[in-house]
Amino acid sequence: MSELDFQNSSKNTGNPSPEILSQKLSIAEAELRRLIRENYELRHQRITDEQLRFVMQEQLESLRDAEYGASSERYKKREKTDEAKTPPKPRVKKPSERYPNIPVREEVITQTPAPSCTCCGKEMTESGMTEDSEQLTVIPKKYEIKLQKRMKYRCSCQGSLITAASPARIIPGSTYSDEMIQDVVLSKYCDLIPMERYAAMAARGGLVDLPPQSLIEVTHQYADFISLVYSRIREAVLAARVLHADETPHRMLEGSDKKSWYLWGFSTQTDCFLECHDSRSGDVASGVLTHSRCETLVTDVYAGYGKAVRMANERRRVFGLPRIKSAYCNAHARRYFFQAWKKGYKEAEFYLDHYHEIYKLNSEAKRKPPPNVARLRAEMRPRFEEMQRRAAVEMSRYPEKSNYGRALRYFLENYAGLVVCLTDTEVPIDNNSQERLLRNHVVGRKTWYGTHSKRGALTAAILFTVTESCKLVDVNPREYFQAVTRHLLAGKDPYTPHEYQLAQTPVAAV
């Protein structure tokens, strides 16, 4: 059957027969084989029939795995020693032990009439002893209408009538209270609940016909209200010596000629700052870096960050500021070896085992003082050097387009950036912390799809910045929003989640 006959038969049949599907697969494989061979010829490289078959098989498996495979990158190093004995299960804690800050409401259960004695048959009396059990319960959300009555004052002279001053509010004159506004904001930007779903949930609680559009407007107004906090977080991030950076797509549904926008994230160990732009160009990152005190930028190997660092260094040289170094994410390097291992390259186990030990040392270094971190990082160096030596030897043995060849090339070409962490204890070994800070936005965009205006993009950047900064320092966003709202309404200077956390932490006695 010719290709034209095949295309015509495909159009005339709603469900192609197995024979037609088989012919379609053969045509696709032949076309893939031709494209791969032409690609190598254009790069003036020869490829044998065996190598061609091997590369084709990998690419087909990669497509199949991308569509149907698991996304987990879990890898367990094969230990030579006997398996350790399973530790005994710990005692299950009572709810009052697990949650000591939750109030306990006692409920005494009696029996009427009192039971009869199983020995003599007489009616029994209370002994004063009880058998206690605990259950965790919940009080469903309750909606109320707050009726504020501002007292009017008069004088005996009948000359004037004065009304008590209205309390300061987030949105003066709004039909939504401050508590309701904060609940709406945190439901969307912390709990990732779309406003239509919030309104539906409220309806099930008795609040019928709550307009979602008015709730969206409330989030914009609260973003304006808390924008001073956003500015302070940005200042704190730009003042840091080590910065993390990453970006993720953000869809602009309307209000802009460009539909594909990007949410850019810059963070430290204590603060996270987000911006929304209609470009993925390195100009965005260079604009942030030029005005920062950053000396090391931790990113993935995206060319836009390389451009941003070069541009920022040229501008910083004029102002006499230190040059920025690029540190790369080892989680990305490990991921390439893991993908090769999944495709059957047993050689990748060497690198996965070394990364297993490197990450064990990294776990030991957490919350340790800098001298201890430096010692543990020094123990990592021999493993990195051993991987580099082996990768250099193996590089010429595998096709560049194979999974294992890509892993080796990625590791060798970016080796200098991958080992910056060995000489600087403030630089982490990967960029996972920044990627986690963008996760809520990635999950959220699957439910509300995007923003409908540039103002909506700015609102998302502001409110995600504040909520993610709370999570970064283990501060409850609901507690922080209540506290900072009271603070701003009182006319005081704002504070960041990190500053709030420091204020709540008791000072240790000397």
Q: Residue 50: which domain range?
A: 1-9+19-56
Q: Is the pLDDT of residue 10 over 50?
A: no
Q: Note whether 323 and 449 are same-domain residues.
A: yes
Q: What is the pLDDT of residue 2?
A: 47
The answer on 452 and 312 residing in a single domain is yes
Quick one: tokens of 53? 């078959």
DSSP 87: P
Q: How many CB atoms lie within 10 A of CB 42?
A: 8
C-alpha 428, offset from chain centre: 17
Please state, in angstroms and rounded to a whole number, the distance separating the CA atoms of residues 264 and 254.
Answer: 20
Do residues 337 and 473 share a domain?
no
The predicted-structure confidence for 249-284, as pLDDT tens digits, reads as follows 888 888 788 888 888 999 998 999 999 988 888 888
% pLDDT > 70, the chain: 88
Asked whether residue 301 falls in the same domain as residue 444, the answer is yes
Which range (75-79, 122-126, 467-471) has the least confidence? 75-79
In a domain, 206, yes or no: no
493 and 441 in a common domain = yes
What does the alpha-carbon distance between residue 439 and residue 373 come to, in Å, rounded to a whole number?
A: 28
The pLDDT value given to residue 195: 92
Left (φ > 0), alpha (ψ -120 to 50) or beta: where does 206 sit? left
Neighbours of 510 (CB within 10 A): 3
DSSP 8-state class, residue 246: E
89 in any annotated domain: no
Q: Is 400 in a helix, a strand, or coil?
A: coil
Nearest-CA neighbor of 430 among 420, 441, 416? 420
Confidence class for position 44, pLDDT limits 50, 70, 90: low
Indicate if 294 and 357 belong to the same structural domain. Answer: no
Amino acid 233: pLDDT: 95
Longest dimension (CA), the chain: 107
The terminus-to-terminus CA distance of the chain in angstroms comes to: 88
Cβ within 8 Å of residue 191, ≥6 positions away: none
Q: What does the block give as tokens for 442?
A: 């990635």
Residue 44 half-sphere exposure toward CB, CA atoms < 13 A:
0
Question: Does any domain span residue 499?
Answer: yes
Domain for residue 129, yes or no? no
Asked if 436 and 244 touch (Cβ cutoff 8 Å), the reply is: no
Average pLDDT over all residues of the chain: 85
Does the pTM of the predicted model rise above 0.95?
Answer: no
The per-residue pLDDT for range 160-208, each reduced to its tens digit, is 899 998 899 999 989 999 999 999 999 999 999 999 999 999 999 888 9
List the structure tokens of 171. Answer: 């949105």
Is residue 151 over pLDDT 70? yes
pLDDT above 90 for 345 = no
What does DSSP say about strands 260-267 and 296-299: parallel, antiparallel, or unpaired?
Answer: unpaired
- Whether the predicted pLDDT of 475 surpasses 70: yes
Residues 6+ apart with CB under 8 A from 139: none
Query: Is a pLDDT exceeding 50 seen at residue 4?
Result: no
d(CA 197, CA 203) in angstroms, rounded, equals 10
Question: Do 308 and 377 have their domain in common?
Answer: no
Indicate whether 415 and 384 sit together in one domain.
yes
Closest Cα to residue 456, out of 220, 204, 183?
A: 220
The confidence score (pLDDT) of residue 77 equals 67
Q: Check whether residue 337 and residue 419 sit in a common domain.
A: yes
Please check the confidence at residue 139 and state whether its pLDDT lies above 50: yes
In a domain, 115, yes or no: no
Give the residue from 385, 404, 430 where a domain finishes: 430
Pair 308, 443 in one domain: yes
The confidence score (pLDDT) of residue 15 equals 62
Number of domains in the chain: 3
Q: What is the mean pLDDT of residues 285-295?
A: 87
Q: What radius of gyration do the chain's Cα atoms show?
A: 31
* 407-462 tens-digit pLDDT: 999 999 999 999 999 998 899 898 888 888 888 887 777 777 678 888 988 999 99
The answer for residues whose C-beta is within 8 angstroms of residue 105's C-beta and 6 or more apart is: none
Domain boundary among the residues 412, 430, 448 is at 430
CA distance 326 to 349: 28
- Say if CB 231 and CB 238 are below 8 A apart: no
- At residue 43, the pLDDT reads 62
Structure tokens at 258: 């460009």
pLDDT for residue 508: 47
Q: Establish whether the linkage from the previous residue to 428 is cis, with ω within 30° of 0.
A: no
pLDDT recorded at residue 72: 66
243: closest CA among 287, 286, 301, 299? Answer: 299
| Pairwise CA distance, residues 399 & 397, whole Å | 7
Per residue in 46-86, pLDDT (tens digit) is 667 666 677 777 777 776 666 566 666 676 666 655 555 66
Amino acid at 250: H
Domain co-membership, 413 together with 440: no
Cross-strand pairs, 275:
264
CA 59 to CA 406: how far, in whole Å? 12
Q: Is 293 inside any structural domain?
A: yes
Report the Cα 87 to chain-centroid distance in Å: 33
Q: What is the CATH number of the domain that holds 257?
A: 3.30.420.10
* Any domain includes 156: no
Q: Which of 107, 112, 129, 69 is nearest to 338 (CA)?
A: 69
Residues 259 and 302 in one domain: yes
Last residue of a domain, one of 414, 430, 446: 430
Q: Is residue 49 part of a domain?
A: yes
Predicted confidence at residue 431, as pLDDT, reads: 86
Contact yes or no for 58/343 (Cβ under 8 A): yes
Collect all residues with Cβ–Cβ distance below 8 Å to 458 and sequence separation of at least 6: 223, 276
- ∠ CA 160-166-167, nearest 5°, is 150
